[in-house]
Chains A and B, each alone.
Chain A
Amino acid sequence: MPKRIRLDKAIVTANDRLAAELADTYDQAGVLVVNLMSSPGAGKTSLLEATARGLADRFRMACIDGDLATDRDAQRIQRAGMPCTQINTGGGCHLNGKQVRDALDAHRLDRLDILFIENVGNLVCPAVFDLGEHRRVVVSSTPEGDDKPIKYPVAFRMADGVVLNKMDMVDATDFSVEAFRGYVADIKPSLSIIEVSCKTGDGLVGWFQWVAEARDALSRKAAPGAE
């Protein structure tokens, strides 16, 4: 005798459950967590080096860095002054919740204001693996072309901010800032785009302000009415 049972339940993956745990851990420690994702070579590490130098006197920061191999990025970020733990994913194309949870052991979260997660360079898989972060940032760069947002709509749709790097190279490419902004607006009109050059330092002030505002928003959430 056949019978149909209606469930209409969202599929909860093991990573979703871990992400919820991680989000609790971050909130209890009062640390803002920012997950950076991009194609390989867009400038996530350069942005973190600049952030390490630019915000060192305002925030206590650390980083967890994901790559298939080597600890080159972690070394660069450490040299810029930010403690950084490298995760090598082997063949893994994204960071998952378990890798991040294990890497947290190296950091005293309650002594940090901001933890950055530099994801593996890839705009496909990191977009669907929640790491419990408060803010998600896509880093794009001018030599990649202005159509990245419509080619990887999920990553941009899930983002809270976009950093457009390598603006110093814009004249050497066919990149149209107007087209890029239009594509982003089509996918998520509320998404702010911060134009920077990590090489020359232009525009980084806007990024630092974005980070500081995200940190302030978390503090207000933790202590409502304490303004």
Chain B
Amino acid sequence: MKRRQLLQGAAAGAALGPWVHTLAQDRYAKYKGQTIVVNYPAHPHYDQAEKLFAEFTAETGIKVERDKMQYLRMKDKQVLEMGKRGNGDYDVVVYVVMWKTEYVKKDLLQPLDGYFANSALADPAWDQKDIIDRYWETNALVGGPKMYLPGPGARPYGIPFGAETGVLAYRTDLFAKHKLAAPKTYDELLAACRLMKDKEGIGGLTSRGQTGHQVTAAWLLHLTPNGGEVFDSQWRAAFNNAQGVRAAEILKEIVDTGPAGIPSYGFGEMQNAFLQGQAAMYLDSVSIFGPAQDPAKSRVAGKIAYAVHPKGSKHSAQSGGFAMAIPKNARNKDAAFLFMQWMTSKQADLKIALAGGNINRWSTLDNADVAKKYPIELPALRESLKIANPDWRPLIPEWDHISQQILGQALPDVITGGKPAKQALDAVVKAAEDVVRQGGWLKA
């Protein structure tokens, strides 16, 4: 089905070629000379995307001013700006997917379906179906079941950009030396961790661990593959059941056999530890593909292979990343939409992927040049996308608070050995249930 649509679209596009081009010029003409302000993270994908801004301005006449920040601090500033009466400073905000429901609940974002239906602005060649469906479901849609899942009621509020799933990366040289195969299960993963620590003296698996959002994300990675969940179907706490505790214990073992300093690791430190050779394995976002090949960033280029997230009782990989959205109080909404549409178009996505950014579209994933650049990465990415799970964490509006202040405060005790996992998780059940009760999820 998809292929045929693609071919049809391509044929139509080719036939309409010159006319489409003229239409495109008309699309941007009204906004020539405007400046839009984009708030986005300092992140490898966006570092590459930035390089296309000049091309966008040359083609459309719309200037781009950017405000780059650390991604966890973006939210404070974004909420401040988007909450202002009158116009806020930002025309485009990039959100981390876990904020999407909170932003929509506080009515801060402009729904996008109106723009896609607007023939004066929408690009017929843009093709929403070409965007990797998992990413569209996880990053763009709000309003469906549980508010964050695809399904009836879901509408797009953002366009995935810098979207990601999870992948396992490992050092081929070290694994070959010890005659290890790529870990397929959690048992194999943990055995490899212990071996690397004992025999090689370096960390087994690098991991996030910093108090707050990071340590929760690290724990979540191991939760769903081992059959756990944060809340059960009635929204009572399930994170302290046997599977949740097991996931926390797995995390502790990873920290014990990992590189030094994990409890203070954010995303950057975690990725860096692998790229600088302090850990033998990496299990996190696919945004590592680009930096891993870059000799300026990576000491281990050429010595890496990729595999899917290991299986516990089932396969489940993370799904998420970033998306671009338009604040309700933005000054230049139309120009903002045109910018977002252009940056996520097929051509732009391809260029960014070839420069080392994330792949957001099937057409990019199927492209021959991209395959040449990422011969070992793409097969792993395809397999990972099959097991990417939009429900690997409950992205309700209250999630950020739970992740940072409740679970994010309980898990550090586990990984530093301060408390046993069961005790640490039991201690925050009441706080977590209070929050979901206040949010209206948990009845009585």
Partners in one complex: no
Q: B residues bordering A, Cβ < 8 Å?
A: none
